[in-house]
Amino acid sequence: MTQSTNLPLIGVPTSIMKIPGTNFTSHVSGQRYITSVNNFSKCIAVQIPSMGKKYDYTNFLERFDGILLTGGRANIEPHHYGGLPFPPEEPIDPDRDGTVLQIIPTCITAGIPLLGICRGLQEINVAMGGSLHYRINQIPGKNDHRMPRGDDVTEEDIFKLRHSVTLTPSNLFQKMVAKDKILVNTLHGQGVDRLGDGLIVQAVSDDNVIEGISIKDHPNFAAAVQWHTEFHPEREEHTLSRKLYQAFGRAAKNRMQSR
């Protein structure tokens, strides 16, 4: 029997989604995110229900050794960063918005490790006073970073490596892999417009979209990427994704041992 009683505890804020074919809504976290934290960070991941402004998460977060901010179908509503309103058909998740925008500043103050993935990067940017482009593909000179769609599209098609990113010299990501460029997958429509205060650019795509960040004044590990690290981090071509989970896990273990 696997012993897990002494593993760091990672909180994963949920997305609120309607179950297809029903009238029920659920708190949802993708299975791959949970599995990757368990397998590569060597931590136990548990869901944090996204209650939005109906709940104060400040003291609650002290129970965790790290927070994982996952991707999600809905985008952060633009009123959080002074953007133009979404079209009526745009999916929204106000309770997740209200939850993560509380959690992120608390994690920075308390030194709780943070790892953001896709929407998670955008959440950190907005929490730090930054803004987002609504659709990167509508900006002249930018590529389409959205995932392929269609009845015949496979999971491998969706998550395949599609473009390169340049890693900032001598910074965190570049030191992890000792490379200047890597290939990544891409499944996002939105992206960083104005960079938030105190954020360090770690990776930039070939069309100059910010793809990786860290938080300068966070006293522990705090980083985020625009690509999806949860897709087969064990593969050689996903070395940086795997190393990010490992660094996150080490930081969580250090916090667990010190508190």
Which ranges of the chain have pLDDT less than 50? Answer: 1, 3
CB contact at 8 A, 196 and 127: yes
Q: What is the pLDDT of residue 5?
A: 65
Contact indicator for 47, 103 with CB cutoff of 8 Å: no
Enumerate the domain spans of the chain: 9-258
pLDDT tens, residue by residue, 134-170: 999 999 999 999 998 888 899 999 999 999 999 999 9
Q: What CATH number labels 9-258?
A: 3.40.50.880
Predicted TM-score (pTM) of this structure: 0.96
pLDDT confidence of residue 144: 93
Q: What is the pLDDT of residue 123?
A: 98
**Helix, strand, coil percent content, the chain, rounded in steps of 5:** 30, 20, 45
Taking Cα atoms as reference points, which of 76, 156, 163 lies closest to residue 124? 76
Each residue's pLDDT tens digit, 175-199: 999 999 999 999 999 999 999 999 9
Single out the residue of 4, 69, 72, 39 nearest to residue 233, CA to CA: 39
pLDDT score, position 259: 81
Alpha helices in 84-163 (DSSP H): 94-110, 119-127, 155-159
